[in-house]
Chain A
Amino acid sequence: MSGHDSKYFSTTKKGEIPELKEELNSQYKDKKKDAVKKVIAAMTVGKDVSSLFTDVVNCMQTENLELKKLVYLYLINYAKSNPDLAILAVNTFVKDSQDPNPLIRALAVRTMGCIRVDKITEYLCDPLQRCLKDDDPYVRKTAAICVAKLYDINAELVEDRGFLDTLKDLISDNNPMVVANAVAALAEIQETSARPIFEITSQTLSKLLTALNECTEWGQVFILDALSTYKAADALEAENIVERVTPRLQHANCAVVLSAVKMILQQMELITSTDVVRNLCKKMAPPLVTLLSAEPELQYVALRNISLIVQKRPTILAHEIKVFFCKYNDPIYVKMEKLEIMIKLASDRNIDQVLLEFKEYATEVDVDFVRKAVRAIGRCAIKLERAAERCISVLLELIKVKVNYVVQEAIIVIKDIFRRYPNTYESIIATLCESLDTLDEPEAKASMIWIIGEYAERIDNADELLESFLESFPEEQAMVQLQLLTATVKLFLKKPTEGPQQMIQVVLNNATMETDNPDLRDRAYIYWRLLSTDPEAAKDVVLAEKPVISDDSNSLEPSLLDELLGNIATLSSVYHKLPEAFVSRAKLTFARPDDEEYPAAVETGNSESPSYEVDGAAATSSQSFTSHETARQPAPVAAAPTPSSAPASPPAPVPDLLGDLLGLDNALVPVDQPIAPSGPPLPVLLPSTTGQGLQISAQLVRRDGQVFYNLLLENNSQVVLDGFMIQFNKNTFGLAAAGPLQIPPLLPQDSARILLPMVMFQNLSTGPPNTLLQVAVKNNQQPVWYFNDKISLHVFFSEDGRMERANFLETWKSLPDSNEVAKDLSSAIIHSIDSTVENLAATNVFFVAKRRNANKDILYMSAKGPRGIPFLIELTASVGAPGIKCAVKTPSLEMAPLLFDAMEALLK
């Protein structure tokens, strides 16, 4: 069935476009079709053929399905760059959506939904309405997905036209494929919408579980994923659900299996009977093991998931460790994950076999894998006390082979083992010292030096050993320098003889005078002062007993782990990160007024506002994210105290233990802690994809009667960015920066948040008022970035906008009726009058009076806009129901549309 399409790629270079144009307009069908193929071929290799738009669209009205598909494909690619011409295609689309052939009907809606041009979208609604109720299931299943497409382009339109209800009806469709696609579409819409759209009731649940038996494998995945969020009412219901899902474990498609596992694990949380739980664990084990016979990429996904599952329920695979032994031809990414799981499943019972495996891996070729295998031995030693000795003897055997990186890795883990089991295995120090001169990696050096310092009294020639390192002190990496400093002090305190005394002079001198590393210098000064004032106190501090470390192989926080388990099979479970950390789709959220007030509230010490909790939660989740990141480092962090907490709150009784531990921590922990978020998230206006790594989020805010531009700049590029400047284009309110943008040079991965004071009426634009704010930001490294922001009128509402009742009435009467306009704010809602009044008052929209009329509440409010323009506002609403009628009376009628926008945002 092989084709010969490659001939379409070879066209004459010269005059290609005119030639194609001519062929496209040919009266011969075959020639026309060939020409379209050539156009698509050109498009495929990245040539710009958008100038042929009209000619290609003219070929659209054809009976030939293949040709039609090609023209449609062309449209998907180029409609956006020719929105005005794209309208030419609408007629054919609409006609095709009524074609007797269901293939063509479906093709028409499918394609229209892919064309993200407003003008086309408007015309999509009627065909979509029809197709959602089409007789042919093939058309309905395509239409179901199309609703999600439309929602992505214009959510309001979908809600206005009632497509969501039609989509919900499709859940009861008699065709399984339609049901599955409707579920996928609803699940997606739910993710972007703030209010509940797709709520799974026990009725829908039962319907969907029945559909599971009939739909395609991909549809089964949609349904299982959507149902995994369902919370069963009680153990009984949970057991029932599990019973209906378990047959999926026998499906040949591993995605179906994993999603079924996810659902079972979720429901198991509710099941109280230990027998049932044990039985389920037994049922899940074989399918999980079988996943390891799948394609390597799928094995990888499975292993990342199994790693989560065994942390939650270690018993499931406790007896299956052998299946995780690496095969010679496993890709390296599979081997790495298997190793991680082997450590997790290692126990006193199987450790001998596991060690034998690790030893085998330590002689393989891939350096990263070998290192990880060596570390794995160390981690097992720390985890399993009874096996520690055997682990160490394996490490010693490996050291004897004298492969450089194996030796270094072994020394790093042995240092951790010494920390875990102090005063137990020092007899091996002599062997370690033999490899001293092969060490060239900072971490290994630092570890070895730590060992020498810690056991200086038992190593006869400790001073000689340290001295050999001292010669190169100035050239060493910071972590080595820090360890050398501490180790020398330890040596001196333990053996206060002449040699060490000289050494300490040299070290302190080097570390205070010759360095520009503040950590090193500070620590040196502390030691120096301690030693010179009270050597006994120095002993207490430097030689203090250290906290015992523990194995960190099960290190995910329980709450994070639970959330990740709810995301089994998804990217979240592969990354071991929550979706928020990497999903970059912009959510349709509006800054709520109380959010906006939040930083001010904190500044005044009012930390009891509810928004504080929201932020607190965000901070913890990002925190747990970090701690997990640390855990995923190939080198497990052995030192117990976390570096971030140490400097903030030093443990009072032994303050200088800190210095010692800090050094260790520095050596082991990645230092880049993320900056804690200091306020509600701002809308991203310049995504880092467009800004070559620079991301700018910003929003106009009002604080203490002044307008500020709240900016967050994040540097995700590889270079330092400095010399930031900002400029605002002419706008309706003449907003401009009150001063220069003062931002320190931004290091890579660094960010800066700033409140830029703004002034008004500086560079006024002419024409009718609008909300557009065009911003330009430049720096010394990048081109100038331009982006658009939206001015919300409420930031100008002044604090003195409150009107007394009488005053309000008088002003109302003084204005002619022609100065009153009204609009229905369909998405606005009042949940409770009191809280709405309170919220609005916070943005300087003040309550004047209220009355009730025909089951509706009518609120009168006042606000004072820029240049003191009064706004008299009348809101008519039913509490709890969406849709508010907003009428406004103001001398500046042209501002009314802006006011409606602002009110709608405030009342969301």
Chain B
Amino acid sequence: MAGAVSALFLLDIKGRVLVWRDYRGDVSAVQAERFFTKLIEKEVDPDSHDPVVYDNGVTYMFIQHNNVFLMTAARQNCNAASILLFLHRVIDVFKHYFEELEEESLRDNFVVVYELLDEMMDFGYPQYTEAKILSEFIKTDAYRMEVTQRPPMAVTNAVSWRSEGIKYKKNEVFLDVVESVNILVNSNGQIIRSDVVGALKMRTYLSGMPECKLGLNDRVLLEAQGRSAKGKAIDLDDIKFHQCVRLARFDNDRTISFIPPDGSFDLMTYRLSTQVKPLIWVEAQVERHSRSRIELMVKARSQFKERSTATNVEIEIPVPSDATNPNVRTSMGSAAYAPEKDALVWKIKSFPGGKEYMVRAEFSLPSITAEESTPEKKAPIRVKFEIPYFTVSGIQVRYLKIIEKSGYQALPWVRYITMAGEYELRLM
């Protein structure tokens, strides 16, 4: 059994209440504010505190976004996962309304904020968080308000994410397959963890209530149909679907069928934890001459096929925080010392497959060090890149069928791209 929250607070960076909505009348704003300001005063780094805190009969759960904290207070045993996720959704809704959620935008729109808080949650229970539909009946422009005579059907419908009667002259769907490669290499150069998190990001511009069916080169599906795919079939470890996808149907015969929301959304995300060869391998040699200078030699090698090219490659190499006087030479791209990150940032616009580039750098170190030296923060080398027209998993969209009763032809456009996610190589 679960429960509900008592109130929702929007607080500024110092923990003072900007706007709050009292749902159950059993936690006061003063009490919550006193607790929270004390909490963040204590912590230098707001990240370091558990997001679920108990104080004096009340559980506070909070998340931060820009200079705003979103916090709930609860006296019951509520569903923590649901509430924290709800707070993130509230951010999404506010962002949809005000472009950016920050202290200023809350102040500038407090009337709508109250209205939204009233609609998204009732008596401390999450109700409705589809920004697009909400904006059909809660509007910032006050004059259009008068026209609204009823809540959109979608609010209570089984298809709660799409309104009826949408019309486009040209019916189009854009499907981006985006894969993020997460990799962790330990200081011995061993890959200790690697996985790929993929997302099918859709933007739909379709009229009416279109029925869509998506076909992937999913091994389970293809084998069930007794077909061998042209090319390879893939195994996905875990798939998560947007709420529009009929889960029972997928469970039954692996068909991905749905009525999409209007506009952009993540249709599905998937994960596979196959051992992938690091697409860009970085090796660093660090020579440290104590109290005088430090020398870095960093090699980066692209380990993918020559016909692909990585773009916007950015390699962040940590250097000691007291390093000065950088002297940098690169064989490709440009490298610059970024003192705010305590790192040397090496940027390469275009990095074709099968190539190796190098950077050498030298920094001065101070000749005196503090006696009680705290251990050096050992940051890993971090890499960012994008490789268009390429996926690590080999996932392919075999078809996207769109059927609407008016019988229009819709054009699906598919793109593939691979990016670096959490791409970390620990230094020796």
Chain A contacts to B: CB under 8 angstroms: 1-6, 8-9, 33, 37, 40-41, 44, 46, 63-66, 69-70, 73, 76-77, 80, 100-103, 106, 110, 113-114, 116, 136-138, 141-142, 145-146, 148-149, 152, 175-178, 181, 184, 187-188, 190-191, 213-218, 221-222, 225-226, 228-229, 244, 246-248, 250-255, 257-259, 286-287, 289-290, 293-298, 300-302, 322-323, 325, 327-329, 331-333, 353, 356-357, 360, 363-366, 401, 403, 567, 569-575, 579, 582-585, 687-689, 716
Contact = CB atoms under 8 A, between A and B. Distances in A.
B125 A177 contact: no
Nearest to B63: A297
Given A69-B118, A250-B241, A2 B109 contact: yes
Contacts of A114: 23, 25, 123
A329 B380 CA distance: 10
B151 A102 contact: yes
- Place the interface of chain B in its size category: 35 or more
B165 interface: no
B317 to A, nearest CB: 14
Given A103-B150, A216-B128, A295-B88, A333 B56 contact: no
B86 A69 contact: no
Contact of B75 (A187, A254, A583): A583
Highest count of chain A CB atoms <10 Å: which of B51, B156, B157, B243? B156
A478 to B, nearest CB: 28
B303 interface: no
Given A333-B48, A569-B81, 15 more contacts: A3-B112, A9-B107, A41-B110, A103-B137, A103-B149, A138-B155, A152-B24, A214-B158, A218-B82, A218-B86, A221-B79, A252-B242, A297-B52, A301-B80, A582-B54
A247 B247 contact: yes
20 contacts: A3-B108, A5-B108, A5-B110, A9-B107, A40-B111, A64-B146, A66-B115, A214-B158, A225-B79, A252-B241, A252-B243, A255-B79, A259-B81, A287-B240, A293-B269, A296-B51, A297-B84, A302-B81, A333-B51, A571-B80
Contacts of A217: 243
Contacts of B110: 5, 8, 40-41, 44
Enumerate the 3 nearest inter-chain pairs by beta-carbon distance, A residue then B residue, closest first. Answer: A286-B238, A584-B57, A255-B82
B238 A246 contact: no
Nearest to B105: A2
B331 interface: no
A327 B184 contact: yes
Interface in B222-272: 237-243, 245-248, 250-251, 266, 268-269, 271
A511 B24 CA distance: 57
B78 A66 contact: no
Interface string B266-286: 101101010000000000000
B49 interface: yes
Contacts of B145: 64-66
A360 B3 contact: no
B417 interface: no
A103 B3 contact: no
A687 B57 contact: yes
Contacts of A294: 85
B111 to A, nearest CB: 6
A290 B25 contact: no
Nearest to B374: A365
Nearest to B137: A103
B377 interface: yes
A334 to B, nearest CB: 9
A582 B47 contact: no
Nearest to A142: B122
A177 B156 CA distance: 6
B114 interface: yes
A293 B424 contact: no
Nearest to B245: A250
Interface stretch (B96-104, B205-213, B402-410): B96-104
Contacts of B127: 141, 181, 218
Contacts of A65: 145-146, 148
B76 interface: yes
Contacts of B375: 363, 365, 401, 403
A357 B187 CA distance: 10
A3 B140 contact: yes
A298 to B, nearest CB: 5
Contacts of A244: 248
Contacts of B411: none
A76 B266 contact: no
A217 B82 CA distance: 9
Taking chain B's interface residues, is the majority helix, strand, or loop, or is none over half, making it mixed? mixed
Contacts of A331: 47-48
Given A37-B111, A46-B29, A138-B155, A569 B80 contact: yes
A3 to B, nearest CB: 4
Contacts of B3: 188, 191, 570, 583, 585
B355 interface: no
Interface string B133-152: 00101001110011011110
B105 to A, nearest CB: 6
Interface string B171-198: 0000000000000101110001101010
Nearest to A401: B375
Contacts of A287: 238, 240
A140 to B, nearest CB: 8
A1 B140 contact: yes
Interface string B338-353: 0000000000000000
B19 interface: yes
Given A246-B251, A570-B78, A689-B56, A289 B238 contact: yes
B59 interface: yes
Contacts of A251: 240-241, 243, 247
Given A300-B52, A327-B422, A689-B56, A113 B108 contact: no
B319 interface: no
Nearest to B85: A255
A688 B239 CA distance: 47
Given A225-B1, A569-B79, A138 B271 contact: no
Nearest to A4: B108
A363 B378 contact: yes
Interface in B50-102: 50-52, 54, 56-59, 61, 63, 74-82, 84-88, 97-99
A367 B210 CA distance: 56
A571 B73 CA distance: 12
A579 B77 CA distance: 6
A146 B4 CA distance: 13
A221 B82 contact: yes
Contacts of B79: 221, 225, 255, 259, 569-570
B84 to A, nearest CB: 5
Contacts of B155: 138, 177
Interface in B1-41: 1-4, 17-19, 22-26, 29, 31
A184 B23 CA distance: 15
Contacts of B29: 46
B195 to A, nearest CB: 8
A30 B57 CA distance: 44
Given A145-B123, A259-B79, A188 B193 contact: no
B150 A136 contact: yes
Contacts of A181: 122, 125, 127
A229 B58 contact: no
A297 B51 contact: yes
B204 to A, nearest CB: 17
Contact of A328 (B2, B129, B239, B379): B379
Nearest to A584: B57
A431 B1 CA distance: 54
Interface in B341-382: 374-375, 377-380, 382
Interface in B303-346: none
Contacts of A329: 422
A133 B146 CA distance: 26
A609 to B, nearest CB: 30
